[in-house]
Structures are given as structure tokens and as C-alpha cells.
Amino acid sequence: MYKLSLALYKNFIIFNIIFFSFIANANASGLFADTAQSTCTTPNCQAAIIDKAVILSEQAVSGVASTTPWTGQFFSSGNECIRIEVLETSPANRDLTMHFVGPDLSVWTDDDSGAGLFPRIEANTLVPGRYTVVVGLFAPTVFNNNTRFKLSYGRYPSGNPNCNEPTASTLDQLPDSARGVNKTKSNSNQSPVSE
């Protein structure tokens, strides 16, 4: 049951990220960002800063809040630390959430690891390619207006202090068998068996 529910949760998150990426308004999405890898060690040092990103709030229908999340794609060469952090919002102190999806469909999710109500993801990537980033309101209400925010995106070597508190990916949380890892156990009374 645990394996199934975690796998379903992962598929739900991936579907929503892909779905909202396709329907997102062009003013709120479509950013492709690249930055060079840096060996500096202070938080967010030499990171690219994406300013004036917008989460659009749409006309509420039947009292239901509707927003278009911001989406972008950031590059990783694989086997490196990627640090993405919301630095500020306007209006101030909006509660945001962030998802980071790799080409191998690994997913990192964060809500409040950054300052206050801001998300921060410290991802140790394994696969080279473009990673999709989705930033949205944690709990949209009919009273929300458009939310502007500033985001940092930095690439660092594996083991860099910018990933001292790595965000767990969904692949990290799945059992080895669900990730396609086949371990063999040896028992002195039996021949090796597969888990």
C-alpha cells in the first residue's frame, strides 16, 4: 500500500506540473534560464536572479480561487547542486510553494524552507538536461491579486555548501524496487534471492 500511494502521489504531482506548464499564460511562464556553475560557497552566491516573475490570479468562478503558476526551465549538467530560492514577493509575505522536476521525472517540492513563507530547493541532480520549475501560491483565495516575486537560481559542484540541507526528491523516498534498483541478498542457508 505504501509503495502504491507514494507512486500515485508522485504521478499526481508530475501530471499537475506538466498540465499547468502547458496551459500557463505566456506572460507567467516560458522562461529558459541558464547560469554558469560557480564554486563560491555563500548562500545564493553568483546565482542568476529572475526578477518580476508573476503568478497570475484569475477571476474567481463560483467563489473558487484560480491562479496560473509561474513556470520556467533551468539547466543542470547533472551531478551538481542546484539551489533555487524565492527571495521576496510583492505583495509582501505571500505564501508560495515550489516544485522542481528533472528529465528523469524526479521531483523536489518545498513550501517554507527559505525565509518566512518562501520556498527553497537544494537539489543534488543526477541527470543532465532542463529541469522544470513551478512556483505557485500555497493556498490561493478569491482575494489574491497577482503576485510578483524574485527568484535565485544557482549551479554549484556536488558537495557545495549551497546544498548543505538538500531537499529530498520523490525518487529518494521510493523503495529501491520502485526505482528499478535490484538488490541481491545472500543468506548462508539459501542461494541469493532478489528483493
Q: Residue 192, preceding bond cis, omega within 30 degrees?
A: no
Three-state DSSP class for residue 157:
strand
Cα–Cα distance measured from residue 4 to residue 175, given in angstroms and rounded to the nearest whole number = 11
Q: If you search the block for the grid coordinates 539459501, which residue do you land on?
A: 190
Cα–Cα distance measured from residue 5 to residue 22, given in angstroms and rounded to the nearest whole number = 26
CB atoms within 10 A of CB 171: 16
**The pLDDT of residue 72:** 92
* Residue ranges covered by each domain of the chain: 2-174
For residue 89, give the C-alpha cell.
514577493
The residues, ordered by sequence, that sit 6+ positions from 147 with a Cβ below 8 Å of its Cβ are 54, 55, 57, 89, 90, 91, 94, 96, 137
**The pLDDT of residue 140:** 73
pTM for this one? 0.71
Closest-CA residue to 19 (of 152, 132, 153)? 132
**The pLDDT of residue 27:** 40
- Please report, for residues 31, 152, 195, the alpha-carbon distance to residue 51 in angstroms, rounded to integers and kept in the order given: 12, 9, 49
> With contact defined as beta carbons under 8 Å apart, do 61 and 72 qualify?
no
Three-state DSSP class for residue 111:
coil
Secondary structure tally for the chain: helices H, strands E: 2, 12
**The pLDDT of residue 147:** 87
Cα–Cα distance measured from residue 12 to residue 48, given in angstroms and rounded to the nearest whole number = 30
**The pLDDT of residue 22:** 42
| CATH code assigned to 2-174 | 2.60.120.380
**The pLDDT of residue 25:** 38
pLDDT tens, per residue, the chain with 195 residues? 455 565 665 555 555 555 444 444 334 445 666 789 999 999 999 999 998 788 877 666 666 666 788 899 999 999 999 999 999 998 888 889 999 999 999 999 998 887 788 999 999 999 999 999 999 888 776 566 788 899 999 999 999 999 999 999 987 665 555 545 444 443 444 444 443
Three-state DSSP class for residue 149:
strand
